[in-house]
A and B are shown apart, each in its own frame.
Chain A
Amino acid sequence: MTANMKKNTLSVDVSRRRFVIGSATAAAGFAVGISLPLGAIQADSTPDANEEINAWVVVNEDNTVIVRVARSEMGQGTLTGLVQLVAEELGCDWSKVSWEFPSPGQSLARKRPWGSFSTGGSRGIRDSHQYVREGGAVARELLIAAAAQTWNVPPAECTADNSLINHLPSGKSTTFGSVARLAATLEAPTEVTLKDPADWTIVGKPMPRLDTADKVTGALRYGADVKLPGMLHAAIHACPVHGGKRVGFDADVARSMSGVRHVLAVSDDAVAVVADSWWQAKQALAAVKIDWDTGENGKVDSDSITAILKKGLDANDAFVGNSRGETLNVLKDADTVVSSEYSYPFQNHAPMEPMNATVIWTEKSCEAWVPTQNGEAALETLADAAGLFRDNCEVHKLILGGGFGRRANHDFLVQAAQIAKQIPGTPIKLLWSREEDQLRGVYHPITRSRLTAKLNDEGLPEALHIRISGQSILHALRPPLGEPKIDEAVFQALAPEGDHAFIYGIEHFLADHAMRNTHLRPWFWRGVNINQNVFYVESFLDELAMKTGTDPLDYRRKLLRDSPEALAVLERAASNAGWGRTLPPGTGLGLALCKAFGSYVAACAEVSVVDGKLHMKKIWAATDPGYAVNPQQIAAQVSGSFVYGLSAALYAELTVKDGRVEQENFNSYPSMKIAQMPEVETDVMPSGGFWGGVGEPTIAVGAPAVLNAIYAATGVRIRDLPMKDQLSV
């Protein structure tokens, strides 16, 4: 491996069985054999000998262990959680564990031993826990078999614990490292037994993150920090009206500017400047005069989109996502119904690290360094854009400076490849400006909703109709000329069953969707469609409770008789918050809950509104993810979810004028700061028996909990997000 590292060629050896110890930063330089300044983990520290026990586990002679993780790490902590799952089954000493990313090319060459690389939908752990744990267990059995063979004893008499193999009858003991070489030659068992959760010593514990050290010294190299010998820097500007085309451009001034090497047409809608430094590229790009054809899209604005969505609320035809009973008939025959309308705007992901990719293209091969949420999809995209076979391409994954869904879309990688292809043999780092990130985002879908209910004698909804009007992410992903068909994801948290089941027991219930798409591209945004759906439902239930003079907690209790897990998190959040206590004037408590991504989450917010100014004092959160792999990281995710979700609810709105987004940077698209963040107390209450996600569900309950608390404090009901237009935030 050391030799491989020093080899200064561009060949990609995807067949090699061993990778490099350490972190993603270390992996960054490898396939092309370029030694980056790597911070804490230096190439020379790589042990001379290590053995791959199986795809998941490498044991070094010094008894340290490397666990391979295919999913991406973007701050959510999945990396540490997945290593915990492997390490638990392996029976290794946690202090001896490090990690590495296998590359998508290696996965391809080895027939996908690590399964999916896709990192979204809070799936990192809930979709892979089984095979990841099996990977650790197989490695354990191989190490045990090797020790048993050495001692000439039955493997069943041996155990693995704390990176030692022990033979109980004789008291013999040996290290993982000393039997690793033999273990690597043995045939893997086809069946393994996983540990009983009751016996876990690493899983379920608040293990420190494995990726912290380099993050506090500045040593960690993100995609934006990649540097390769001879690399040039690219800045890009694509048509700010999505769907618009480049007609022509005048680059005479730009080409004469300092450091500028190339001014290039990219795809049919962008111009890039390639220069010695990114600042030079950006300055020159501003001097390029570009003519756009924005077509019909250039005539769209926020008002015209709102008008289309409002019509959708009354449309006769809609896709039905959940229907039980005779909802429309019951509502039609009712003497009185209660109805409210809500709206949810376009939002951008705005991860702190702007989009970027570094690509080197030759006629024979193409390599890219990509902060991506899906390494395999990135490899596919790269090969397509490079015009090469996948086998001749490689993607090097890096730790992401935030993802939130944005980095599951590889539009920036296509651009980087297209630029690199025009400058063969030269590494090109494309970095988007923050403005480009805002204008060329793929956004949280815009929707409006009308909820209509008939109340029974108890004041509870006998019938409830939720009409959603707005964009479909899945439609945007389908072939462009296809007929619209139902987008099941629109009904997250409203579904008949499963990970996004609607939790409330209402006899007549209808959720339907009038699909109304716009030219602004919709995309998966942390929480996806639960964000608006839970805001709609939890706000409306609060309205119904208030209208009937019922305590909002009691009101929900009556509707949750068949959802004990949901009721449990609600009760816990409310109880921790001291629900029912006397509050000063201008102060209120608000509740919200949902089932999403397989987990049950609830929030109780305390706010005060004084002279029209909102102060979010505290949020009590409760989460039942079934199994809690790392409670500390879950608490971090829950706490951070309120920052991300409430930043959106307070401030985030993209408005459209002449077809383009108006908010170009954080000055017009603000994000919560430390002074605004409420105190958060998180109760992680794993009930066991299922594996739910934790990265996203809590995003959805922050806004409605705060809005319901605002109502309790002031009697003012906010039905349109963001809040900033309606009170001082």
Chain B
Amino acid sequence: MPKLSINGETVDVDVDPSTPLLWVLRDHLDMTGTKYGCGIAQCGACTIHVDGVATRCCVLPVSAATGKKITTIEGLSANGDHPVQRAWVELDTPQCGYCQPGMIMAAAALLSETPQPTDSDIDQRITNICRCGTFARVRQGIHRAAELATEVKA
């Protein structure tokens, strides 16, 4: 029975160990902020952080996630005020919004490793699909979040 550490809490789940973490989150734990888009790690809608690293959990067996620190969109910040989330609200980045939890998690991981990313960094690291086409505000939002993070520290 896998024991998981999700958003700072320890959770027991009674599932087949080969079950992708995405479906444990969504169907077993009712944490539906992490989305299903493709099931083959192509679209990024299911992006979470595993030990701080952006990870597409639709192809991550739950057995591979035990003992690791899992953060989902629900746990990214206590009050929805992570710099990326604040920048996203400021710029009205989402359209339909379905891809945005994954987009935000990918952006947050990028910023934690590269606090002042260049456009080229963004091009290489943000490979999520957004069919509405919010990319211009995603790019702008990442740069804005970098600024906001600095302000928080200052």
Report which A residues bind B (CB closer than 8 A).
37, 74-77, 208-209, 211-213, 215-222, 224-225, 227, 233, 258, 276-279, 350-354, 399-404, 431, 433-435, 632, 636, 639-644, 647, 665-667, 671-675, 677, 679-680
Please measure, in the bound complex, the distance between the C-alpha atom of A245 and the C-alpha atom of B9, giving whole angstroms: 49
Min distance, Cβ B61 to any Cβ of chain A, angstroms: 11
- The answer on a CB contact under 8 Å between B132 and A402 is yes
Interchain Cβ contacts under 8 Å between A and B, 15 examples: A208-B92, A216-B97, A224-B36, A279-B19, A279-B23, A352-B98, A636-B134, A636-B137, A641-B133, A665-B38, A667-B40, A667-B42, A674-B128, A674-B138, A675-B127
Please measure, in the bound complex, the distance between the C-alpha atom of A632 and the C-alpha atom of B91, giving whole angstroms: 10
- The answer on a CB contact under 8 Å between B131 and A350 is yes
Contacts of B53 in A (CB 8 A): none
Please measure, in the bound complex, the distance between the C-alpha atom of A400 and the C-alpha atom of B95, giving whole angstroms: 10
- The answer on a CB contact under 8 Å between B39 and A434 is yes
Min distance, Cβ A553 to any Cβ of chain B, angstroms: 26
Contacts of B6 in A (CB 8 A): none
Contacts of A220 in B (CB 8 A): 97
Please measure, in the bound complex, the distance between the C-alpha atom of A222 and the C-alpha atom of B45, giving whole angstroms: 13
Min distance, Cβ B135 to any Cβ of chain A, angstroms: 4
- The answer on a CB contact under 8 Å between B96 and A213 is no
**Which residue of chain A has its CB nearest to the CB of B97?**
A215
- The answer on a CB contact under 8 Å between B132 and A75 is yes
**Which residue of chain A has its CB nearest to the CB of B79?**
A217
Given contacts A216-B88, A640-B133, A643-B135, contact A400 B96 (CB under 8 A): yes
- The answer on a CB contact under 8 Å between B74 and A224 is no
Please tell me which one of the listed residues B20, B34, B98, B136 contacts residue A353 in the complex, with CB atoms under 8 A apart.
Answer: B98
Contacts of B16 in A (CB 8 A): 258
User: In the complex, which residues 20-69 of chain B have their Cβ closer than 8 Å to any Cβ of chain A?
Assistant: 20, 23, 26-28, 30-40, 42-43, 45
Please measure, in the bound complex, the distance between the C-alpha atom of A401 and the C-alpha atom of B97, giving whole angstroms: 7
Min distance, Cβ A306 to any Cβ of chain B, angstroms: 27
Asked if B149 is at the interface of the complex by the 8 Å CB criterion, the answer is: no
Asked if B148 is at the interface of the complex by the 8 Å CB criterion, the answer is: no
Please measure, in the bound complex, the distance between the C-alpha atom of A208 and the C-alpha atom of B93, giving whole angstroms: 10
- The answer on a CB contact under 8 Å between B96 and A399 is yes
- The answer on a CB contact under 8 Å between B85 and A216 is yes
- The answer on a CB contact under 8 Å between B85 and A640 is no
Chain B CB within 10 A, most for which of A208, A209, A233, A352? A352
Please measure, in the bound complex, the distance between the C-alpha atom of A212 and the C-alpha atom of B100, giving whole angstroms: 10
- The answer on a CB contact under 8 Å between A352 and B43 is yes
Asked if B89 is at the interface of the complex by the 8 Å CB criterion, the answer is: yes
- The answer on a CB contact under 8 Å between B40 and A213 is no
- The answer on a CB contact under 8 Å between A677 and B136 is yes
The digit string for B84-107, where 1 denotes a CB below 8 A from any CB of A, is 010011001111111111001000
Asked if B126 is at the interface of the complex by the 8 Å CB criterion, the answer is: yes
- The answer on a CB contact under 8 Å between B136 and A75 is no
Contacts of B151 in A (CB 8 A): none
Min distance, Cβ A472 to any Cβ of chain B, angstroms: 26
Given contacts A211-B97, A218-B72, A665-B42, contact A674 B126 (CB under 8 A): yes
Given contacts A279-B23, A353-B35, contact A215 B131 (CB under 8 A): no
Please measure, in the bound complex, the distance between the C-alpha atom of A642 and the C-alpha atom of B130, giving whole angstroms: 12
Interface of B is mostly: loop
User: In the complex, which residues 113-135 of chain B have their Cβ closer than 8 Å to any Cβ of chain A?
Assistant: 122-124, 126-135
- The answer on a CB contact under 8 Å between A278 and B27 is yes
Interface of A is mostly: loop
Asked if B70 is at the interface of the complex by the 8 Å CB criterion, the answer is: no
Please measure, in the bound complex, the distance between the C-alpha atom of A271 and the C-alpha atom of B88, giving whole angstroms: 41
**Which residue of chain A has its CB nearest to the CB of B80?**
A217
Given contacts A216-B100, A277-B28, contact A352 B134 (CB under 8 A): no
Please measure, in the bound complex, the distance between the C-alpha atom of A642 and the C-alpha atom of B135, giving whole angstroms: 11
Min distance, Cβ B134 to any Cβ of chain A, angstroms: 7
Min distance, Cβ B122 to any Cβ of chain A, angstroms: 6
Asked if B3 is at the interface of the complex by the 8 Å CB criterion, the answer is: no
Asked if B109 is at the interface of the complex by the 8 Å CB criterion, the answer is: no
Given contacts A220-B97, A674-B139, contact A212 B132 (CB under 8 A): no
Please tell me which one of the listed residues A74, A208, A639, A667 contacts residue B133 in the complex, with CB atoms under 8 A apart.
Answer: A639
Listed from nearest, the 7 A-B pairs whose CB atoms lie closest are A218-B33, A643-B133, A75-B96, A401-B98, A640-B133, A215-B97, A75-B95
Please measure, in the bound complex, the distance between the C-alpha atom of A675 and the C-alpha atom of B139, giving whole angstroms: 10
Chain B CB within 10 A, most for which of A216, A227, A353? A216
- The answer on a CB contact under 8 Å between B73 and A217 is yes
Contacts of A641 in B (CB 8 A): 133
Chain A CB within 10 A, most for which of B23, B36, B80, B134? B36
Given contacts A216-B104, A353-B35, A434-B37, contact A644 B133 (CB under 8 A): yes
Please tell me which one of the listed residues B19, B27, B100, B130 contacts residue A215 in the complex, with CB atoms under 8 A apart.
Answer: B100
Contacts of A76 in B (CB 8 A): 95
Chain B CB within 10 A, most for which of A76, A212, A679? A212
- The answer on a CB contact under 8 Å between B74 and A218 is yes
Please tell me which one of the listed residues A225, A402, A666, A671 contacts residue B32 in the complex, with CB atoms under 8 A apart.
Answer: A225
- The answer on a CB contact under 8 Å between B131 and A673 is no
Contacts of A276 in B (CB 8 A): 27
Please tell me which one of the listed residues B19, B40, B98 contacts residue A402 in the complex, with CB atoms under 8 A apart.
Answer: B98
Given contacts A216-B94, A353-B98, contact A674 B85 (CB under 8 A): no
- The answer on a CB contact under 8 Å between B23 and A212 is no
**Which residue of chain B has its CB nearest to the CB of A215?**
B97
Please measure, in the bound complex, the distance between the C-alpha atom of A76 and the C-alpha atom of B133, giving whole angstroms: 11
Please measure, in the bound complex, the distance between the C-alpha atom of A403 and the C-alpha atom of B74, giving whole angstroms: 25
Please measure, in the bound complex, the distance between the C-alpha atom of A233 and the C-alpha atom of B31, giving whole angstroms: 16
Min distance, Cβ B98 to any Cβ of chain A, angstroms: 3
Min distance, Cβ A674 to any Cβ of chain B, angstroms: 4
Contacts of B35 in A (CB 8 A): 222, 224, 352-353, 401
Given contacts A218-B33, A218-B74, A233-B27, contact A666 B38 (CB under 8 A): yes
Please measure, in the bound complex, the distance between the C-alpha atom of A350 and the C-alpha atom of B38, giving whole angstroms: 10
Given contacts A640-B134, A674-B135, contact A218 B92 (CB under 8 A): no
Contacts of B34 in A (CB 8 A): 218
- The answer on a CB contact under 8 Å between B96 and A677 is no
- The answer on a CB contact under 8 Å between A352 and B27 is no
Please measure, in the bound complex, the distance between the C-alpha atom of A433 and the C-alpha atom of B28, giving whole angstroms: 18
Min distance, Cβ B109 to any Cβ of chain A, angstroms: 15
Please measure, in the bound complex, the distance between the C-alpha atom of A726 and the C-alpha atom of B97, giving whole angstroms: 33
Apart from the given pairs A212-B94, A216-B93, A401-B97, 4 other A-B contacts in the complex at a CB distance below 8 Å: A77-B95, A218-B33, A352-B99, A674-B122
Please measure, in the bound complex, the distance between the C-alpha atom of A643 and the C-alpha atom of B39, giving whole angstroms: 22
